[in-house]
Structure 1
């Protein structure tokens, strides 16, 4: 491997922190700064860093660590309170964008049926990691609306993966609906067993001082292992497995020690790489007037379909106007899961090249607009009462 990656790493870490500090001063989350840093360093502007296998792997580690830390900060009792409402918000937040995405592809862009259907699937997931990082930056992760957003986003991704797997036969994969349903049911059993039995084991293990000091290492190993098991055996995206592992360790008596140690690893190295990597995956030079128009249509459809569906559902469920707006805004962001689906489309030759860049731009735009909207909507949150 060329030693140039060390210089590239230095530039990524430096620019993400500099721009992150600037966006923080503008009352925006540093996620926005990191995304802009990726665009600047990538092929669209300076062409210093190209998105290759190394950065892909590093970004994957980054998003897994982000989700693990988000799980550590999740209060299960709070999540239970919004469990059914989160499911309903997520359900409508998947169905409506799926219909809107398909309609844009089939009726406006004149795409073939399969391409349009796949476009609808790309519209379905919410970026759990980006939204969770934004909520943490704004210190509203445990608020009523914040808990609803996180619960809905997690369920949203599971539903999105379920839909993608259902259409696996159309993508050249021999997948039966029975195996999908059985896999998800087994995953839920797996989740229950982990949350039920692993925390007591970890707490007993901590009695030994030698093991106590190694708990962050054990947590990291379990995080990667469960992420792998989730994706390999249950066909549930690895970030859900990482989030699950974090929830398991949230019940560990010394969870703050695990969080502190692994948060350093995530915050200083892998998270900046992940957020910057999103910006690296686009080529603005390939855009013309028609592509720009289609990109704007896709962006408006992707953003509004999520916001309106989740806002209306939240209102019907009894959330006030402010919290409904926050939930709607928090569900707009697409990110790693959408990019994974786009990659599947490229691999199976479902997506044409002229669709890839617009879709990546849509992912970037929704990722940028979500922190901006949440920053504005939570501006007076310090005057409101958080769930305790």
Structure 2
């Protein structure tokens, strides 16, 4: 997953808000937003469970209902919304008789606070997924996951770029940028569904997670390439090589770290006497690894996932799993509801002439987006009885990753409105289609395979 939080630049804004006279209103806005998020997430999750669908789909849909597409209870400036369109901010304005300048400042700070909480949510989610994964099993399917990831990047990128150029006569740079948006995979959504269904430790689940992690690294590289291409018309080769080398060293180094870190971690946890003696050191390690990844221009979630894999090898893994779950239950829904809230279904209006062209292109992109990932399952070889369809389905969702590409394209100004709309429609569709498709695909896995995965 590719995210776009600039931690260093955000902190002064939040500090300024906290020290100002508006700080109580920012806090009130954050608290009211959290009430909305938890209500939407819980109600959506429960309804999805009742319909035998993955709860994460309900959280996403709950976010859509309270977000920019419907009730405007949870909206963000980066979605093109102004403060007066936010129900939360309008409520605060009524309560405090605020000036327009105050309203704008509060809206900005409140939105940044929720966005950072959402980022913490996905970091905790990937840490939890790392703990639930099996490093030894990941090693066994590592080469298969790498092949799946590479095919899952090359196939949709090539088909999307070439198709846009020759079928729709899109200029090369916008076509390349749109093709890049097709390469991403949202590991957050897929891994959550696998975990909820109990298939995370199955062979299919391990290939999907491993491929999604590699896909994330490849996505960062692709994004760096197209971003430099959009700005200068040239590719910064040095930056691309740096990203490849740093990602490889970081991930391999994290795996090697597990061999001698485990005993030290257990020793420290046993020596501590106060509350949180296990979970606090674990989160110190997870956040530090996330920081290191971010510092070398990778994604923080890669560091969190690597930390989970390392701690999964300790003797206290089961106890740590139990202590991390309630923390994840608090933070992770913020991430999924926020993703849903930022989805603008207004781009799906066929009555608007500017949207119709985007809808036609979107249909093409959606076909490429689905088929380009589905075929990855058939790139797996040497595995008897493997559910190839499930692997392909697990690679489909673009989620927040695709939204970041859409946001960058809007900021760069290199895409016309129809093409921007088409990318957003593709992101929306793959995000919501993938969980039920994956669930249906996983039903084909025999109960024997599942039992063996649970036992391991």
Question: Does the alignment reach a TM-score above 0.5?
Answer: yes
1:187 equivalent in alignment to 2:250? yes
Alignment partner for residue 215 of structure 2, among 153, 156, 160?
Answer: 156
Distance 1:54 1:191 in 2: 30
Structure-to-structure mapping, 1:173-252, within 5 angstroms: 176=238, 177-210=240-273, 213-233=276-296, 235-252=297-314
Residue 195 of structure 2 aligns with which residue?
A: 136
Residue 75 of structure 1 aligns with which residue?
A: 134
Distance 2:162 2:114 in 1: 34
Q: 1:157 to 1:3 in 2, by over 3 A?
A: same
Residue 442 of structure 2 aligns with which residue?
A: 378
Deviation at 1:171, TM superposition (A): 4.0
Residue 55 of structure 2 aligns with which residue?
A: 30
Deviation at 1:245, TM superposition (A): 0.8
TM-score if structure 2 supplies the norm length?
A: 0.78
Distance 2:269 2:356 in 1: 61
Deviation at 1:186, TM superposition (A): 3.0
Residue 346 of structure 2 aligns with which residue?
A: 285
Distance 1:340 1:357 in 2: 14
Deviation at 1:151, TM superposition (A): 1.3
Residue 72 of structure 2 aligns with which residue?
A: 47
Encode CA deviations 1:174-209: one digit per residue, 9 max, x unaligned.
Answer: 561443343234324532443233222202212314
Aligned residues: 383
Q: 1:212 to 1:49 in 2, by over 3 A?
A: closer
Secondary structure of the corresponding residue to residue 260 of structure 1: helix
Distance 1:272 1:376 in 2: 23
Residue 35 of structure 2 aligns with which residue?
A: 10
Q: Is the 8 A contact 1:205 1:211 kept in 2?
A: no
Distance 2:42 2:225 in 1: 41
Distance 2:166 2:397 in 1: 24
Residue 146 of structure 1 aligns with which residue?
A: 205
Residue 84 of structure 1 aligns with which residue?
A: 143
Larger RCO: 1 or 2 (CA < 8 Å, sep 6+)? 1
Q: 1:216 to 1:242 in 2, by over 3 A?
A: same
Q: Is the 8 A contact 2:190 2:435 kept in 1?
A: yes
Q: Is the 8 A contact 1:59 1:274 kept in 2?
A: yes
Q: Which runs of 4+ in 1 moved over 6 A?
A: none
Deviation at 1:328, TM superposition (A): 0.8
Alignment partner for residue 432 of structure 2, among 362, 368, 373?
Answer: 368
Residue 303 of structure 1 aligns with which residue?
A: 370
Q: Is the 8 A contact 2:357 2:418 kept in 1?
A: no
TM-score if structure 1 supplies the norm length?
A: 0.90
1:117 equivalent in alignment to 2:176? yes
Secondary structure of the corresponding residue to residue 207 of structure 1: helix
Deviation at 1:370, TM superposition (A): 1.4
Encode CA deviations 1:275-334: one digit per residue, 9 max, x unaligned.
Answer: 1112222333344332223223222221111112x12212x44454x6111111111111
Larger radius of gyration: 2
Residue 160 of structure 2 aligns with which residue?
A: 101
Distance 1:178 1:8 in 2: 41
